[in-house]
Amino acid sequence: MQRTYPEGVPSWVDTEQPDVEAAMAFYGAVLGWTFVTATPPDAPFRYVIAQLDGADVAGLGGPADPPRGDGPDPGGAHVPTWNTYVAVDDADAGAARVSELGGTVTQPPTPAGEGGRSVVATDPLGAQVRLWEARRRLGAQAVNVPGAWNFSDLHSADRDAAARFYGALFGWQLDNLGFATLVRRPGYGDHLDATVDPGIRERQAQGHVPPGFEDAIGWWLPLAAGEQARWSVTFTVADRDAAARLVTEHGGTVLATEANAWTRTALVRDPQGAELTLSQFLG
């Protein structure tokens, strides 16, 4: 069964990099990805689908002819980031809602071949968020396993303002758990239970997770000093320290490491400048 995503659930992540081949080499080594090309050979923009055992996990895009230069941001281009896409049933309606709620649409609904249509927007607090109306590309088909996407987290200055905007846009709830703020899309657990994850509630109850965690789609985080509002992306790894060594061996940088009762994480930067978190689950 293919994994599907109801409206309001993050469904895909990708990064646009100056040199797609270099990005493929790095992520293939660190996360074990293989790649299939999604764009025609003569297209000026190249987009590849990263896979684990044939299942789609993420996308890498960039110019078909990479610019010459060393290190991140060659030629003065913007530093790459990881982008998060939220599923919508209708990209036009989603873009209209963003504007009505005080956000800004920076790229109107745009076809991505037969895969679907995307929208690029900025929320009222300054974080970029993307919408995805799926057609042939339904979203990530492997998640929460080593090498795959785990969560995307919203970093912003005002939790209540974020709750108002995303609650009206996608139906999200932001729950203060004391130690962190969980982002939920109510009803997502029902969808998972009926499709790819039957028994999710019973299994999570045995793990003593917070109530409603079956609806979890991410976390809200306050801004650090000097940080801009943004979305960040976390990928699961089997062994944080081994993954961190691969990052440095292949030209990336380990920026910080943390550990708690549930996870061991490393914040890293890839060789072209995009930051991401690698997370080892300890349960």
Task: Give pLDDT, residue 226.
Answer: 93
The β-bridge relationship of strands 55-63 and 10-16 is: parallel
pLDDT tens digits for range 65-97: 887 655 554 444 578 999 999 999 999 999 999
> Are 87 and 3 a contacting pair, CB within 8 Å?
no
Q: How many residues does the chain have?
A: 283
- What 3-state class would DSSP assign to 120? strand
C-alpha span between 1 and 148 (Å, rounded): 18
Q: Domain-by-domain residue ranges, the chain?
A: 10-281
Q: What are phi and psi of 197, to 5 degrees?
A: -140, 60
The pLDDT tens digits along the chain (283 residues) read: 899 999 999 999 999 999 999 999 999 999 999 999 999 999 999 999 999 999 999 999 999 988 765 555 444 457 899 999 999 999 999 999 999 999 999 999 999 989 999 999 999 999 999 999 999 999 999 999 999 999 999 999 999 999 999 999 999 999 999 889 999 999 999 999 999 999 998 888 876 788 889 999 999 999 999 999 999 999 999 999 999 999 999 999 999 999 998 899 999 999 999 999 999 999 7
pLDDT tens digits for range 16-26: 999 999 999 99
pLDDT tens digits for range 24-61: 999 999 999 999 999 999 999 999 999 999 999 999 99
C-alpha span between 134 and 169 (Å, rounded): 18
Fold held by 10-281: 2,3-Dihydroxybiphenyl 1,2-Dioxygenase; domain 1 (3.10.180)
Task: Give pLDDT, residue 76.
Answer: 45
C-alpha span between 178 and 165 (Å, rounded): 22
Closest CA to 20 of 40, 51, 49: 49
Beta strands (DSSP E) in 2-127 are 10-16, 34-37, 45-52, 55-63, 82-87, 104-111, 116-122
C-alpha span between 263 and 283 (Å, rounded): 8
Question: Which residues sit opposite 13 in a β-bridge?
Answer: 84
CA 236 to chain centre: 12
Task: Give pLDDT, residue 74.
Answer: 43
